[in-house]
């Protein structure tokens, strides 16, 4: 299975490619007032308005550094039989690797504050945590109007 | 004063310029003395080189970059030039240039280590024998005889180094046949296919779905279903 590697600060994370629609360069975003810090803004993705999450802000509470390698990963997530596109900003989105399906080992624990952090993949000697897209919208309160999910522990992570 | 003068070039070469090892000891240097070269052969296969290339992307964004890309991403995706093209493997049998769908191609092998065994009591020009491909016995056939291609004359003969065995898949198994040369795999747009002239009386034309021009030559795109059907009949 193809998977995308990227950095959040100095830490590498991995995301499975089957739900990635496109990798876009960093674009100018329309910021939203009263939004949590991890919400980077909206952008016009081929005519559709797509919300963009800053993963560095979400995971590490620091904004992504704006570099050429900082890119927007456009992912699809499905909820209630409808499909939405979400943009994720991450740093050093430069490499995709092939991993066998069984390389994604369970981490054994799941944090309530960060339920999107899933299994672990070994890459040589390094352990890389996998980001689970399905869990990501659970802790984002900026969702399509039909499903205003609330996130517990969201305020705690930001402070 | 002297130690300073000595350390200065060394210091500038060591930490910052370790990224430029390919110019000092790698393939772009005179001596090519890097020990890693033994294993990786060329700097482009070396992890140091790859990582240095990635680091080029760690630059700050140019001023207009974000707005520019915002405009590009907002517009419809431009259709790929390769959109709706078909992937074909081009090869040559004697003087004829032919093409088959890449999907049915299994592999291309060097004919040198292969031993072909003829089948006794079989006088068939098309079925030339059986052949051992990776431990499996496959039927070896002659496209030349199936398609009625004449022996090439002139400069296109005798290019033995280009001779290959092509292995194609079918529902009933694999077929192996010798070709004079493999040109490669290319994407061709179906709109460029021309019909076979009706006046062509050669047997080959019945297998030809269309003819297209590639690199100044006409290539016959073969109908693989018909081809495999004929091959199956010819060995029964």
Q: What is the pTM of this model?
A: 0.57
For residue B211, the cross-strand partners are B194, B220
Q: Hey, is B58 helix, strand or coil?
A: helix
Architecture of the domain made up of A2-158: Beta Barrel (2.40)
Encode pLDDT of A35-51 as tens digits: 888 888 888 998 888 88
Q: Work out the angle at residue B142's Cα, subtended by the Cα atoms of residues B139 and B148, and round it to the nearest 5 degrees.
A: 150
As a whole number, mean pLDDT of residues B183-196 equals 85
For B65, which residue in chain A has the nearest alpha carbon?
Answer: A27
Q: What's the order of all strands across the beta sheet hosting B86-93?
A: B181-188, B86-93, B96-101, B217-222, B208-214
On whether any CB of chain A is under 8 Å from the CB of B229, the answer is no
Both tokens of B144, joined, read 């030349």
DSSP string, A8-49: ETTEEEEEEGGGEEEEEE----B--TT--TTEEEEEEETTEE
Return the pLDDT at B15.
Answer: 42
Domain at B86-235, CATH class: mainly beta
Q: How many residues are recorded in chain B?
A: 236
Q: Where are the domains of chain B?
A: 2-59, 86-235
Q: Judge whether residue B2 has pLDDT over 50.
A: no
Return the pLDDT at B198.
Answer: 64
Q: Within 13 Å, how many C-alpha atoms sit on residue B130's CB side?
A: 11
Encode pLDDT of A58-95 as tens digits: 888 888 888 888 999 999 877 777 778 889 999 999 88
Give the dihedral of Cα atoms B36, B42, B46, B52; nearest 10 deg.
120
Q: What residues of B are in contact with residue A89 (Cβ under 8 Å)?
A: none
On whether any CB of chain B is under 8 Å from the CB of A44, the answer is yes
Closest CA to A55 of A86, A100, A17: A86
Contacts of B201 (CB under 8 A, 6+ apart): none
Question: What percent of chain A is modeled with pLDDT above 70?
Answer: 86
Q: What residues of B are in contact with residue A30 (Cβ under 8 Å)?
A: none
Q: Whole-number mean pLDDT of chain A?
A: 81
The verdict on ipTM greater than 0.85 is no
Contacts of B158 (CB under 8 A, 6+ apart): none
């Amino acid at each position: 299975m193809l998977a995308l590697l990227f950095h959040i600060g100095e830490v590498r994370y991995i995301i499975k490619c089957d739900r990635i629609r496109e990798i876009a360069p960093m674009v100018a975003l329309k910021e939203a007032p009263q939004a949590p810090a991890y919400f980077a803004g909206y952008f016009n993705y081929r005519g559709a308005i797509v919300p963009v999450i800053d993963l560095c802000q979400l995971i590490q509470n620091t904004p992504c550094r704006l570099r050429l390698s900082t890119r927007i990963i456009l992912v699809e997530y499905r909820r209630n039989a409808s499909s939405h596109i979400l943009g994720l900003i991450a740093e050093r989105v430069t490499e995709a690797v092939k991993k066998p399906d069984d390389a994604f080992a369970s981490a054994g624990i799941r944090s309530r504050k960060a339920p999107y952090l899933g299994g672990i993949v070994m890459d040589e000697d390094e352990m890389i945590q996998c980001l689970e897209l399905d869990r990501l919208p659970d802790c984002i309160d900026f969702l399509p109007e039909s499903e205003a999910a609330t996130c517990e522990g969201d305020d705690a992570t930001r402070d | 004063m002297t130690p300073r003068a000595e350390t200065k070039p060394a210091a500038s070469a060591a930490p910052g310029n370790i990224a430029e090892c390919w110019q000092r000891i790698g393939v772009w240097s005179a001596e090519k003395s890097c020990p890693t070269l033994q294993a990786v052969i060329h700097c482009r296969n070396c992890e140091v080189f790859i990582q240095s290339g990635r680091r080029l992307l760690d630059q700050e964004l140019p001023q207009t970059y974000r707005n520019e890309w915002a405009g590009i991403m907002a517009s419809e995706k431009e259709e790929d030039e390769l959109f709706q093209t078909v992937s074909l493997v081009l090869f040559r049998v004697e003087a004829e240039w032919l093409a088959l769908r890449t999907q049915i191609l299994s592999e291309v092998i060097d004919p040198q280590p292969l031993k072909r065994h003829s089948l006794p009591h079989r006088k068939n020009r098309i079925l030339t024998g059986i052949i051992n491909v990776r431990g499996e016995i496959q039927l070896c056939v002659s496209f030349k005889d199936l398609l009625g291609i004449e022996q090439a004359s002139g400069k296109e003969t005798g290019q033995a180094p280009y001779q290959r065995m092509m292995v194609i898949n079918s529902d009933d198994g694999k077929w192996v046949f010798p070709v004079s040369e493999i040109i490669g795999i290319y994407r061709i747009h179906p709109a460029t296919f021309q019909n076979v002239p009706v006046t062509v009386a050669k047997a080959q034309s019945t297998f030809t779905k269309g003819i297209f021009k590639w690199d100044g030559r006409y290539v016959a795109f073969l109908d693989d279903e018909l081809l495999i059907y004929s091959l199956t009949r010819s060995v029964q």
